[in-house]
Structure 1
Amino acid sequence: MRIAAPIEIGPLDADAQQAVRGLAAAAEAHDGVAPLSEQPLLNLGTDAEWITHVVAHTTAGSTIGYVQIDRSGETASAELVVHPEHRRNGRGRVLLRTAERDATLPSRSGEPGQHGKQLRVWAHGDLESARGFARASGLRAVRELLFLTRPTTPTTPTRPLAAETAAPGLPEAPAGYRLRTFRPGADDAAWLRVNARAFATHPEQGRMTLDDLRARQAEPWFDPEGFFLLVPDGADDADPVAFQWTKTEPGQPDDARDGEIYALGVDPEHQGKGLGRLLTDVGLAHLAQAGATRAVLYVEGDNSPALATYERAGFTRAAVHVQYARP
């Protein structure tokens, strides 16, 4: 007899957040891929109208399932995880149905966070078990996020290295531009503006807020020396025209250290000038200097210009993350 676990909906206190992190760690150890991405983990302590936390417990109170529904965008997005020892027993279906009801509940409000939206569910790593669960639930793939990798060495930049710049040893900025590092606090608003322009059609990145930026600045991996802005030469206080933000998680072994090209954006008015290629080289050079042995990044599967840039830089596909939805 299959028995659905008790379901709890509402904000997560500190103990509940820790239990969800432990659940995610158990699933990652079993599956080889993290079931929750960065933003849902940052959202665990968030109590707002646009987010719903759903936790599945055993009758003894252990946390064995979790789904987070984010309704802040045009569609609702969910990430779901069930403990490996409690799968194939109806827990995932209960969490999915709960998420769908939360997302599609009719709403008369036009404000962010409203219900009445289509639900899209992430499957990280696109494992066969996730594909089977999606098929059985009547879901189909609607979006792919590719995970690309390449060794950081030997680095072969496509631009000459600058002898003397604000960032020594990095590729030289073209005429009319200057490369400098990000100044927390002073550059926050300007960066948010160019990020919104560069990712105007992106369902997550383009919606980043000051709170989102500050949350990342509080993370142990944040390093402004790995966050580069390309600004008009002679106008240092003007909005940047492009940026390259790198990320290296602490605590990695020296001989297997991943460095991420975390976000790379170019203002639409300055696209077509090779700035994306330049900033890719900047990121790779910085990650190599910082001791990363492998460079990694995420890119939309249908972003042909970005894929072409990264393929020229030597990146290859290592994994895929898929978003599923009902037809």
Structure 2
Amino acid sequence: MSSAEPTLDQVTRADRLSAPAVADVLALTRTAGDTDGADPLDEHSLLQLRDPDAPAVHLTARADDGTLTGYAHLDTSDPAATGVELVVHPAYRRRGTGRALARGVLATATGPLRAWAHGDHPSAAALAVDLGFARARVLWQLRRSLTAPVAEPRLPDGVTLRAFQPGADDEDWLALNARAFAEHPEQGRWTADDLRVRLAEPWFDPAGFLLAVEESTGRLLGFHWTKVHERPGSARIGEVYVLGVDPTTHRGGLGRALTNAGLAHLRDRRGLDRVMLYVDESNTPAVALYERLGFLRWSAHVNYQLG
């Protein structure tokens, strides 16, 4: 056995992490993401990681010299199931670190578990099967070049676009988001706090948060919230962060128009040459729309469930 291989006793639990420990986890996630081509923690987990009062449990594994070799994040905010994400340092894989962390998760959590494997790696699939998890959901990351033509947005009659106004639009947008994603397990549950922390993020740009508004009433009909990912040493890439249309309205082509408007913003105002988005594999109408707009499948993210 390597002296760097952690045992279950070396996996430490904490309800909050110190600032140096958070920095170690962030460095670990960057290294793993650069190696694997997919970030191991999603945005929600990263926000919880930086919030000392977030409803989360942190499991860390360290080598004898103190090097952080692995991390597991348990999101306890949903009473129906605990969300789990796990990452192992590329230099310490195949030494039992992932299995030790997974056993720590099973020993810590109560009730059903929902674990994300970003990138659909065979090792994650094998570990999930060994521990009795079932493959339950697949999220596709699609990408598109912005050097290819982007169609001119054609808004329905009586509809105009404007930028989101923080403070003034918060409540109306949250209500629209809840209607648009009523069946979505994460997006439809956003609260005022969920919106607030994202509006405070360094990447937030109100000019890139486009609202479709009914001219006669001012009612919000749809939105396209864009995001720009910037990481030292990596090329900038835009994202169709959240796009939704009020299901109670019948405005032909509004979703397509909003998509094209956001793509044009990322290309023309932010100077980007590529864009990505995430969409559920089971959402076949959305997948078909994005593929017609030039998006191609890039990677898969798999959700495993237990209990």
1:297 maps to 277
How far apart are residue 3 of structure 1 and its match? 4.5
> Residue in 1 aligned with 2:175?
193
* Whole-angstrom CA distance in 1 between matches of 2:117 and 2:231: 26
Letter in structure 1 aligned against 2:51 = T
Task: Supply the distance in 1 between the matched residues of 2:97 and 2:209 (Cα, whole angstroms).
Answer: 41
SS at match of 2:248: helix
- Per-residue CA deviation, residues 45-64 of structure 1 (Å, 9 max, x unaligned), is 33457422222223443322
Q: Is this contact kept in 2: 1:8–1:56, CA < 8 A?
A: no
Separation in structure 2 between the aligned mates of residue 100 and residue 155 of structure 1, nearest angstrom: 49
Q: Which moved more, 1:24-33 or 1:222-231?
A: 24-33
For residue 186 of structure 1, give the secondary structure of its aligned residue in structure 2. coil
CA distance in 1, matches of 2:54, 2:239: 32
CA distance in 2, matches of 1:272, 1:173: 9
Please tell me the residue identity of whatever aligns with 1:259: G
Q: What does residue range 132-171 of structure 1 map to in structure 2 within 5 Å?
A: 132-157=126-151, 161=152, 171=153
Alignment RMSD (CA, Å): 2.2
Residue identity in the other structure for 2:188: G
Deviation at 1:298, TM superposition (A): 0.5
Q: What's the counterpart of residue 306 of structure 1? A: 286
Percent of matched pairs sharing the same residue = 46
Q: Which residue of 1 aligns with 2:115?
A: 121
Give the stretch that moved more between structures: 90-99 or 291-300: 90-99
Deviations for 1:228-274, whole angstroms, at most 9, x for unmatched residues?
A: 011111223x3x121100111246789x5321111001111025632
**2:74 aligns with one of 69, 73, 79:** 69
TM-score, length of structure 2 as denominator length: 0.90
| Pair 1:22 & 2:22 matched | no
Work out the CA distance in 2 between the residues paired with 1:120 and 1:203: 11
Residues 176-215 of structure 1: pairs in structure 2 closer than 5 A? 176-215=158-197
**Deviation at residue 277 of structure 1 after TM alignment:** 1.3
**1:102, 1:310 → 2: CA distance?**
40
Partner SS state of residue 264, structure 1: strand
Alignment gaps of 5+ in structure 2? none
Distance 1:244 1:98, change over 3 A: same
Runs of 4 or more above 4 Å deviation: 251-254
| Corresponding residue for residue 91 of structure 1 | 97
Other-structure match for 1:45? 50
Q: TM-score, normalised by structure 1?
A: 0.85
Secondary structure of the residue aligned to 1:268 is coil
Stretches of structure 1 lacking an aligned partner (at least 5 in a row)? 105-115, 162-170
Q: Counterpart of 2:242?
A: 263
1:311, distance to aligned residue in structure 2 (A): 1.2
Distance 1:231 1:247, change over 3 A: same
Cα 1:38–1:10 shift into 2, 3 Å: same
